[in-house]
Amino acid sequence: MIRLIAIFWLVASAAFAVQPDEVLDDPVLEQRARDLSQGLRCPVCRNESIDESNAELSRELRILLRERLVDGDSDDQAVDFLVARYGEFVLLRPDTSGVNVVLWYAAPVMLLIALGIGWSVIRRPAAAPDDLSEAEKAELQKILRS
């Protein structure tokens, strides 16, 4: 069930993902193309990279990407070329510009906060030594009586 809808897109065309006639002769260049295309989204598919997508457009983008690499583009230049035409939508790994900072840093910040809370919870009982200060004793009595 869970992947049902994904499937409809996937088999919309019977073709393969990367097809033999697309593969570049230079293995280093081809590997670069594969690595890059795994990070680029097929614009007409559901959550698929152009590397694994069967759609015709993905095939065109794969060929386009390889053409740019053969022409001597750097990785960034080749990706920017596609982003300029299809928008940041094609980036499967969003950049850290603007509000995307939240996406990238929310979890690490959350981890620090959680560790802080966890630490304070663990330390709390140990931080109560045998002899309390007068103020603490009064506070304690107040809590116990309530």
Partner 1 sequence: MLNELAHFALILAFGVAIVQMIIPLIGAQRGNVGWMSLAEPAATIQFLLTGFAFAALTWAFVVSDFSLQLVYLNSHTDKPLIYKISGVWGNHEGSMLLWVLILALFGACAGWFGGNLPMRLRARVLAVQGSISVAFLAFLIFTSNPFTRLEFPPLNGRDLNPLLQDPGLAFHPPFLYLGYVGLSMAFSFAVAALIEGRVDAAWGRWVRPWTLGAWMFLTVGIALGSWWAYYELGWGGFWFWDPVENASLMPWLLATALLHSAIVVEKREALKSWTILLAILAFGFSLLGAFIVRSGVLISVHAFAVDPERGMLLLIILGIFLGGSLTLFAFRASAMQSKGVFSTVSRESGLVLNNILLAVSCFVVFIGTMWPLVAEMLFDRTLSVGPPFFDAAFTPFMVGLAIALPLGSMLAWKRGTLERMSKAMAGWLMLAVALAALAYAVQSGGSALGPVGVALGVWVVGGALADLWLRAGRDDLRTKLRRIRNLPRADWGKATAHIGMGVTVFGVAAMLAWQKEDIRIAEIGDRWDMGAFQVQLDAVDQIQGANYVTTMADMSIWRGDRELYTLQPEKRFYPVANMPTTEAAISNGIIRDVYVVIGDPQANGGWAVRTYDKPFANWIWGGCILMALGGLLSLSDRRLRVGAAAAKPVRTGAVPAE
Query: Closest approach of Cβ 138 to partner 1, in Å?
Result: 21
Angle formed by the axes of helices 27-37 and 56-70, nearest 10°: 130
Q: Give the tokens for residue 22.
A: 């697309």
Which one among 84, 121, 135, 143 touches partner 1, defined by CB under 8 A?
121
Write down the residue that tokens 């007068």 correspond to. Answer: 134
Q: Does 3 bind partner 1 (CB under 8 A)?
A: yes
Structure tokens at 30: 């081809």
Q: CB of 91 within 8 A of CB of 80?
A: no
Check binding of 36 to partner 1 (CB under 8 A): no
**Site residues (vs partner 1, CB under 8 A):** 1-8, 10-11, 14-21, 23, 38-39, 41, 46-49, 52, 87-94, 98-100, 102-104, 106-107, 110-111, 114-115, 118, 121-123, 125-126
